[in-house]
Amino acid sequence: LFTIPLFVSENIRLYGWVLFFIKNGVLLGTLKSLFGLQLESILFSLPAIIFGMVYVYFPFMLFPMTLGISMVPQETRDAAFDLGASRWQVFKEVDLPLSMPGITIGFLLTFVLAVGAIAEAKVMGGQRVIPITHDIEIAFTYSQNWPLGAALSVLLMLVVGTLVLIALRRFDLDRLLGRR
């Protein structure tokens, strides 16, 4: 169910949500005709951008996280239950630590993809929120200011690379995978 939207272009999916959230669209039009409610559209706002980004990048977090959780041996869970642990304790003490590599990889993959997000801000947010990737695009295309575009690109790569290295140092994947 979560993989089906991945076979459709990101822009088409986002424009589908625009039709859903636009004034007198699917959501607000239905509420207006059924209940007489006059609500403002959330389209072209920060919550719409966040919704669009979560919608687009959620599968990239879900798949590694699901893989990490599914790789926890059932015998380990059963042993924790046999020792009297509750479901919450099994999740907190067994499932979460053993699935941390999948969660970390999912977080890093989603973070790196979301930093480069530009379509969500343009389609769902209009021009209210301008990400740095939009400035990079403007510098390279419309203003033909290649030095500025290159400087912004290198700055963004340095910031993202530093944050990824910090995350990889914090969550040592070799130790989490049991290789050391």
Q: Which two tokens stand for residue 3?
A: 């993989």
Q: Maximum distance among all alpha carbons in the chain?
A: 66
DSSP H/E element including 35: helix 26-35
Q: Are 125 and 13 in contact (CB under 8 A)?
A: no
Q: For residues 89 and 76, what is the distance between their CA atoms, to the nearest angstrom?
A: 13
Q: Are 176 and 104 in contact (CB under 8 A)?
A: yes
> Over its length of 180 residues, how does the chain's per-residue pLDDT go in tens digits?
667 778 888 899 999 999 988 888 888 888 888 888 888 888 888 999 999 999 999 988 999 999 989 989 999 999 999 999 999 999 999 999 888 888 888 999 999 999 998 999 899 988 888 899 999 999 999 999 999 999 999 999 999 999 988 888 877 666 656 666
Say what the pLDDT of residue 6 is.
81
CATH placement of domain 4-176: 1.10.3720.10
Provide the whole-model pTM.
Answer: 0.79
Question: Which one, of 100, 98, 94, 68, lies nearest residue 82 by Cα?
Answer: 94
